[in-house]
Amino acid sequence: MPFRKFLGWFKGFFGKKKIIRLGLYGPPNAGKTTLANKISMDWTGEPVGKVSEVPHETREVQKKEKVTVKVGGKTIVMNLLDMPGISTKIDFEEFLQYGFSAEDAKQRAKEATKGVIEAIKWLENVDTALVIMDSTRDPYTQVNITIIGNLEARNIPIIIVANKIDLPESNTKWIEEAFPQHPVINVSGLTGSNVNDLYSAIAKYSK
Amino acid sequence: MKNPLMNNIELEFISSDILDDKKGEDKMKYILDRIRENKILVMEESLSSTEEAKLIEETMRSISEKFSGIEVSTLREKSDSGIREKLIKLLGGRTGGLTVIGPSKLIKQIKKEPKRISVWAERKME
């Protein structure tokens, strides 16, 4: 038994509850921070970060520590890690469309590139991952495939979140068909719809 | 004199023999250097998940006002989780696959299906 696993078992056996590092991954604008805020508000009464329609609003990993979730007679304690969106491209000109000055747009793009690198580095340091996908968009993208492939290579439990089910064009079947090897939970981070199913899944699949 | 091909899009097909000699950062540098020359690459191998993540990292480090990133899509020809495929890899062999990758300024959209990649590219007239 590897030492880390043994340590986890030992702590669990003697009653010290393990803190799960729960990483929220996905492309920009999938609704990661909205969902992180929903989870955090439900259990701590405080949000994790600011939400915006501008891509790459989250440019550093945002944490909410020791969030205690009680579900189905089980209590889990987790550190919520809201990751910057992972992308293969960042064009400062895109930010100009949202009214940023050229200088601010370039600065935001620079920060966003660092955020993507930080999110990738964190792939090695989460215990369970929520991969958030916008259920109104084609899920079979290289970014989603790369995130899931890297988590699978590290044997990290993955729960796919089909987000934005409150929108009429939501198509969760698309996601289930693209990634049949992982549990898919349909939620709306915005309205909180089905979020209890997500808590049950976190309790069931986390390690 | 104006190059008559300057508004065309160059596709480069790269044999896996070339990529076999390159590992880690050398491989990423080789790929990104060619993409920054405004080429779309079709490579005779699929990148591993770890290589894809490394490529995104290196791309982020390269982003500037002139280079806004990449579009990439990989086809894994065979499942790499089977015993046969694992054995082939262990013996240094390849299980097939394909990678299409190019500058995001040129590639307008990549649509991926499990067994097919479609690419829409456009070069703005200069």
**Res A191 pLDDT > 90:** yes
pLDDT value of residue B126: 55
Query: Do the domain assignments include residue B29?
Result: yes
Residue A72 CB partners (closer than 8 Å, separation 6+): A200, A203
Please judge whether B50 and A138 are an interchain contact, meaning their C-beta atoms are less than 8 angstroms apart. no
**A10-14, A138-142, A150-154, B14-18: which range is least confident on average?**
A10-14
Q: CA nearest A25: which of A113, A126, A109, A112?
A: A126
Determine the distance in angstroms separating the CA of A142 from the nearest CA of chain B, rounded to an integer: 6
Size of interface A-B (CB pairs under 8 A): 72
How many domains would you assign to chain A?
1
| Phi, psi dihedral angles at A4 (to 5 degrees) | -60, -40
| Whether the Cβ atoms of residue B32 and residue B58 lie closer than 8 Å to each other | yes
User: Domain containing B109: what range?
Assistant: 10-121
Query: Do the domain assignments include residue A57?
Result: yes
Query: Do the domain assignments include residue B90?
Result: yes
Query: What integer is the mean pLDDT of A166-175?
Result: 96
Q: How confident is the model at residue B23 (pLDDT cuts 50, 70, 90)?
A: confident
Which ranges of chain A would DSSP assign to H, the alpha helix? 3-13, 32-44, 92-96, 102-121, 142-153, 172-178, 195-205
Query: Do the domain assignments include residue B99?
Result: yes
Question: Over the stretch A65-85, which tens digit does the pLDDT of each residue have?
Answer: 999 999 988 899 999 999 999
Question: Over the stretch A25-34, which tens digit does the pLDDT of each residue have?
Answer: 999 999 999 9
Taking residue B63's Cβ as centre, other Cβ atoms within 10 Å add up to 21
Which residues on chain A are in Cβ contact (under 8 Å) with B68?
Answer: 89-93
CA B92 – CA B18 distance, rounded (Å): 15
Query: Do the domain assignments include residue A81?
Result: yes
Full DSSP string of A80-121: EEEPPPP-SB--HHHHHTTT--HHHHHHHHHHHHHHHHHHHH
pLDDT value of residue A17: 62
Query: Do the domain assignments include residue B58?
Result: yes
Query: What integer is the mean pLDDT of B90-101?
Result: 74
**Res A9 pLDDT > 70:** no
If you average pLDDT over every residue of chain A, what do you get?
A: 91
In chain A, residues 82-121 whose CB comes closer than 8 Å to chain B:
86-93, 106, 109, 113-114, 116-117, 120
**Res B83 pLDDT > 70:** no
Report the alpha-carbon angle B120-B125-B126, nearest 5.
Answer: 135
Query: What integer is the mean pLDDT of A115-143?
Result: 95
Q: Residue B42 carries which side chain, given as an amino acid letter?
A: V
pLDDT value of residue A47: 92
Q: Please name the residue of chain B whose CA is at the shortest distance from the CA of residue A154.
A: B50
**A142-151, A153-162, B90-99: which range is least confident on average?**
B90-99
pLDDT value of residue B81: 57
Please judge whether A89 and B70 are an interchain contact, meaning their C-beta atoms are less than 8 angstroms apart. yes
Taking CA atoms, B25 is separated from A67, B33, B74, in Å, by 39, 12, 19
Please judge whether A150 and B53 are an interchain contact, meaning their C-beta atoms are less than 8 angstroms apart. yes
Interface-testing mutation among B52, B73, B120, with chain A (most A C-beta atoms within 10 A): B52
User: Domain containing A92: what range?
Assistant: 18-205
pLDDT value of residue A163: 98
| Whether the Cβ atoms of residue B31 and residue B3 lie closer than 8 Å to each other | no
Q: Please name the residue of chain A whose CA is at the shortest distance from the CA of residue B58.
A: A117
Question: Over the stretch A41-55, which tens digit does the pLDDT of each residue have?
Answer: 999 999 988 888 888
Query: Do the domain assignments include residue A5?
Result: no
Query: Do the domain assignments include residue B5?
Result: no
Largest separation between any pair of C-alpha atoms in chain B:
57
Query: Do the domain assignments include residue A179?
Result: yes
How many domains would you assign to chain B?
1
The CATH number of the domain where A96 resides is what? 3.40.50.300
